[in-house]
Amino acid sequence: MSQQNVHIHLIAGGIAGTTGAILTCPLEVLKTRLQSSTATFHRPVYLPTLNPSGSIAQLCTCTNPRPANMGILMCLRHIIDTEGPAALFKGLGPNLVGVAPSRAIYFCAYDTAKKFFNNRLTPESKKVHMFSAMCAGFCASTCTNPIWVVKTRLQLDQRKIGKNLGATQCIRTIYQKDGIRGFYRGVTASYAGISETVIHFVIYEHLKKTLRERRRVQIGSEKSGRDFFEYMLCGACSKSCASIMAYPHEVVRTRLREEGTKYRSFFQTLLTVAREEGPRALYRGLATQLVRQIPNTAIMMSTYELVVYLLTVEVPYISTR
């Protein structure tokens, strides 16, 4: 892979990831809190009681510690009412800092690995896509895990804006309590989550190849608006399937990144959550994840394909062709 192609995929992956992160940040915050054991939502429950005059009055609110009983819109409204609208974008700073290099590393590693395996295995086969996705996921998870630990801590902070935990203070606290190891909490769950990226890209590449063959479109030919719309659908469909199949690792990862929790390792956390809260707890926040992933992945994949196309076709002097 030439240096120019590396730069193209770095730029495309960075732009794609940043765009998706900004537009879907509120749902990311909500999903993280639903997965957590520390962040709760409080649903007002009005009970009919008799006032001194004998008529029925509406009274008192009680705390409901089960966030699954609240809908997505109600949870978002709760965050706005208790912490302010800006709370929907908590953790956006580290997210923007991390998403560009994370996606850039991922897409660049994926493209590099795919070319490597294409020369040694059956070109464009499912094995090539699977091994390439595994390599890309491992590289991205290892390099950027400290950023995601900070992002998760900020998203779980339920104080109002102005009194909330800052990124610098969060980094200092993690280092003082756990040292460098604290920034790699949840990395084992991220490695387990590579299965999600493998499933995602295998399905995505298969759908894209099927559409290309059906329309008899060859790689490198001129693309139309319909092509990018189809990439969005392929990305959304493949990511949704992958998310449902591999979702428990996300709950485990969030629990491991919580501050001062009883969770220590991947399998210990998996078994503890299932035993204490039931198997359904491993799918907390799944609905929010699917609602978020569909637009996020569609935006990310179509943006990535568009940027790569523009940099290789519209600006031919940087192309290797």
Compute the average pLDDT of residues 43-62.
Answer: 48
Q: Phi first, then psi: give them for residue 119, nearest 5 degrees.
A: -80, -10
pLDDT on residue 43: 52
Domains of the chain by start residue, with CATH: 3-42+49-318 (1.50.40.10)
Report yes or no: 190 and 145 within 8 Å, Cβ to Cβ.
yes
Mean pLDDT value across residues 310-316: 63
Across 45-54, 151-160, 163-172, 200-209, least confident range: 45-54
| Mean pLDDT, rounded, of the chain | 80
- Rounded to whole angstroms, the Cα distance separating 103 from 27 reads 19
pLDDT digits (tens, 9 = 90+) for 280-302: 999 998 988 888 877 777 777 77
pLDDT band at 161 (very low <50, low <70, confident <90, very high): low
* Alpha carbon of residue 185 to chain centroid: 17
Q: How confident is the model at residue 38 (pLDDT cuts 50, 70, 90)?
A: confident
Q: Please state the pTM of the whole predicted model.
A: 0.71
With vertex at residue 40, the alpha carbon angle to CA 67 and CA 154, rounded to the nearest 5 degrees, is 120
Which has the closest alpha carbon to 254: 279, 277, 273? 273
- As a dihedral over the C-alpha atoms of residue 92, residue 93, residue 96, residue 97, rounded to 10 degrees, the angle is -150
Whether residue 54 has pLDDT greater than 70: no
Distance CA 259, CA 179 (A): 13
